[in-house]
């Protein structure tokens, strides 16, 4: 309300009082104190009112009671506002009250979710059984069509995992967790990427094992050579390929390395070529030496194959010899390369000696650092004795090799490899 002051000639503004007309601070204080005292909740609380403002000092047992007291005070006539200078204290039994309240709420929520959880569990059980039987049935069907055991297992597991993922999605949808269901399906790709990076080498060996078994590059018991490592194949597991070399050592090569390397299979084609070199003197006839060597190899036709024909070539010219290289083929399944090559070298050497073809050593140059004094001997030169003629009747026949054991050690190593346990554990992908 606005009034005019006749003395000053000015306007004076009088604010409408917020207190109820006639309610003093003492009355407000008495009324607030009485209301709070009636509850016995605030024994240590002091109330003071100044100009309609209620000042609170002391202690209040809990925040909940403080909020209740403030609402009660504001409802008191004449109160403008509250100035809270009190402290909130917690009783020992009230410390765990928030946790108890949250537990109570969780139990209530759980009670509401029980039907959904039961249905989700039943869905998981049903699809788990479907996944199990699908894996068994598909594995038996695929194994009849594919020779690779690992490939059949991988395909069966993929189909089984597909059923399991559908069951998990439906279970989450049934429990009301649609957002989580979409998150699981969306996060599967990221999880797969992370697992793939973490298990890169293992997955690479697994995939290489599948391809090796499908392509049938080699079989169990065959002799192969990988990066200079030669041996008999024992097994191929999901991790590595097990070999046994000719010294009886067990060797494991990771499948990824086997798949990327050049593989030499020494068993698929039983015919194998061997070669060796021999040097003859410069004074000897190369054509004669080649003829003698060919005739020698021809007499060993039970060991050396006629097709392809043996080959004798001039390899190079040495310091004191003309070096020839002899190539011949033989059956590596029947005969050992080391044994037959040793025998052929021996027979060629004997034939060249019988034909009076020299096989000199490499020439050597001797340098004397001081002058060499030559003293002539008083003895008369004695004619050198001619070498005794070789009695061919006393010399063993060039083709007398039937008494030697030239059999290949491959069969023996193969027998040991198949009888001994492979170093790499796991199911053999090559089968029997």
Name the residue with higher pLDDT: 176 or 80.
80
Residue 380 belongs to some domain of the structure: no
Residue 311's pLDDT is: 92
Confidence of residue 125 (pLDDT cuts 50, 70, 90): confident
DSSP-derived pairing of the beta strands 81-84 and 311-317: unpaired
278 and 129 together in one domain:
no
Residue 160's pLDDT is: 81
116 and 153 together in one domain:
yes
Rounded Cα distance, 172 and 124, in Å: 10
354 and 278 together in one domain:
yes
Residue 85 belongs to some domain of the structure: yes
Rounded Cα distance, 309 and 291, in Å: 14
Residue 210 belongs to some domain of the structure: no
User: Mean of the per-residue pLDDT values for the chain?
Assistant: 75
32 and 76 together in one domain:
yes
Radius of gyration in angstroms for the set of CA atoms belonging to the chain, rounded to a whole number: 52
Q: What proportion of the chain, given as a percentage, has pLDDT over 90?
A: 13
Mean per-residue pLDDT for 3-25?
A: 45
Instruction: Answer for the pair 297, 260: CB distance below 8 angstroms, yes or no.
Output: no
Residue 325's pLDDT is: 95
Range with the largest mean pLDDT of 144-148, 206-210, 230-234: 230-234
192 and 146 together in one domain:
yes
Name the residue with higher pLDDT: 145 or 326.
326
Q: Which tokens sit at 141?
A: 């069907």
Number of structural domains (the chain) is 4
pLDDT digits (tens, 9 = 90+) for 405-422: 777 766 667 677 666 665
Q: Which spans in 10-94 are helix H?
A: 25-37, 63-74
242 and 275 together in one domain:
no
108 and 191 together in one domain:
yes
Residue 135 belongs to some domain of the structure: yes
Asked if residue 184 has pLDDT above 90, the reply is no
Residue 389 belongs to some domain of the structure: no
Q: What proportion of the chain, given as a percentage, has pLDDT over 70?
A: 70
Q: What are phi and psi of 283, to 5 degrees?
A: -80, -15
Q: Which tokens sit at 54?
A: 């209620």
Residue 289 belongs to some domain of the structure: yes
Instruction: Answer for the pair 160, 134: CB distance below 8 angstroms, yes or no.
Output: yes
86 and 118 together in one domain:
no
Q: Which tokens sit at 137?
A: 């049935």
Domain end, chosen from 46, 64, 91, is at 91
Sequence-distant contacts of 38-41: CB under 8 A, at least 24 apart = 41/65, 41/69
Residue 139 belongs to some domain of the structure: yes
pLDDT digits (tens, 9 = 90+) for 361-372: 876 656 666 776
pLDDT digits (tens, 9 = 90+) for 372-383: 666 665 554 444
Rounded Cα distance, 294 and 287, in Å: 11
Residue 426's pLDDT is: 57
pLDDT digits (tens, 9 = 90+) for 43-83: 888 888 888 888 988 888 777 888 888 888 888 888 888 88
Instruction: Answer for the pair 77, 35: CB distance below 8 angstroms, yes or no.
Output: no
Confidence of residue 150 (pLDDT cuts 50, 70, 90): low
187 and 102 together in one domain:
yes
The residues near 402 (Cβ < 8 Å, ≥ 6 apart) are none
Confidence of residue 398 (pLDDT cuts 50, 70, 90): very low
Residue 63 belongs to domain spanning: 25-91
Name the residue with higher pLDDT: 182 or 143.
143
127 and 163 together in one domain:
yes
Return the CATH number at 44.
Answer: 3.30.1340.30
Rounded Cα distance, 390 and 177, in Å: 102
68 and 120 together in one domain:
no
Sequence-distant contacts of 404-407: CB under 8 A, at least 24 apart = 404/339, 404/343, 405/339, 406/303, 406/335, 406/336, 406/339, 406/340, 406/343, 407/334, 407/335, 407/336, 407/339
Number of CB atoms found within 10 A of residue 336's CB: 20
Residue 7 belongs to some domain of the structure: no
Confidence of residue 183 (pLDDT cuts 50, 70, 90): low
Return the CATH number at 355.
Answer: 3.30.70.100
Rounded Cα distance, 220 and 209, in Å: 14
Instruction: Answer for the pair 59, 45: CB distance below 8 angstroms, yes or no.
Output: yes
50 and 36 together in one domain:
yes
Residue 13's pLDDT is: 36
pLDDT digits (tens, 9 = 90+) for 335-344: 888 888 999 9
Residue 186's pLDDT is: 57
């Amino acid at each position: 309300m606005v009034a005019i002051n006749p003395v000053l000639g000015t306007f004076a503004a009088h604010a409408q009082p917020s207190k109820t007309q006639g309610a003093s601070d003492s009355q407000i204080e008495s009324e607030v104190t009485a209301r709070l005292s009636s509850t016995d909740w605030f024994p240590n609380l002091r109330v003071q009112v100044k100009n309609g403002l209620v000042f609170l000092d002391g202690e209040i047992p809990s925040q909940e009671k403080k909020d209740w007291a403030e609402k009660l005070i504001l409802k008191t006539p004449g109160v403008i506002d509250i100035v809270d200078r009190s402290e909130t204290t917690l009783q020992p039994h009230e410390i765990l009250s928030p946790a108890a309240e949250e537990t109570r709420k969780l139990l209530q929520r759980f009670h509401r979710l029980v039907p959904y959880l039961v249905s989700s569990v039943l869905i998981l059980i049903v699809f788990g059984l479907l996944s199990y039987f699908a894996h068994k049935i598909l594995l038996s069907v695929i194994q009849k069509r594919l020779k690779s055991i690992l490939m059949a297992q991988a395909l069966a597991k993929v189909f089984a995992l597909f059923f399991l993922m559908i069951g998990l999605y439906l279970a989450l949808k049934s429990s009301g967790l649609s957002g989580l269901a979409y998150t699981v399906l969306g996060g599967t790709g990221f999880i797969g990427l992370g697992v793939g990076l973490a298990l890169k080498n293992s997955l690479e060996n697994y995939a290489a094992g599948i391809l090796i078994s499908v392509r049938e590059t080699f079989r169990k018991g065959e002799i192969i050579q990988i990066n200079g490592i030669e041996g008999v194949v024992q097994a191929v597991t999901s991790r590595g390929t097990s070999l046994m070399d000719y010294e009886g050592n067990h060797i494991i090569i990771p499948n990824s390395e086997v798949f990327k390397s050049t593989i030499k299979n020494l068993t698929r084609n039983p015919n194998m070529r061997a070669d060796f070199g021999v040097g003859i003197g410069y004074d000897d006839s190369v054509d004669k030496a080649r003829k003698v060597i060919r005739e020698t190899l021809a007499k060993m036709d039970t060991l050396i194959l006629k097709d392809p024909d043996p080959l004798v070539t001039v390899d190079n010219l040495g310091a004191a010899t003309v070096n020839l290289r002899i190539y011949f083929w033989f059956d590596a399944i029947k005969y050992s390369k080391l044994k037959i090559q040793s025998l052929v070298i021996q027979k060629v050497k004997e034939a060249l000696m019988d034909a009076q073809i020299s096989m000199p050593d490499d020439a050597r140059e001797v340098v004397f650092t001081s002058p060499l004094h030559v003293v002539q001997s008083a003895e008369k030169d004695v004619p050198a004795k001619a070498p005794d003629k070789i009695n061919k009747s006393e010399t063993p026949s060039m083709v007398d090799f039937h008494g030697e054991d030239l059999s290949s050690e491959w069969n023996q190593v193969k027998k040991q490899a198949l009888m001994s346990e492979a170093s790499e554990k796991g199911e053999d992908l090559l089968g029997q």
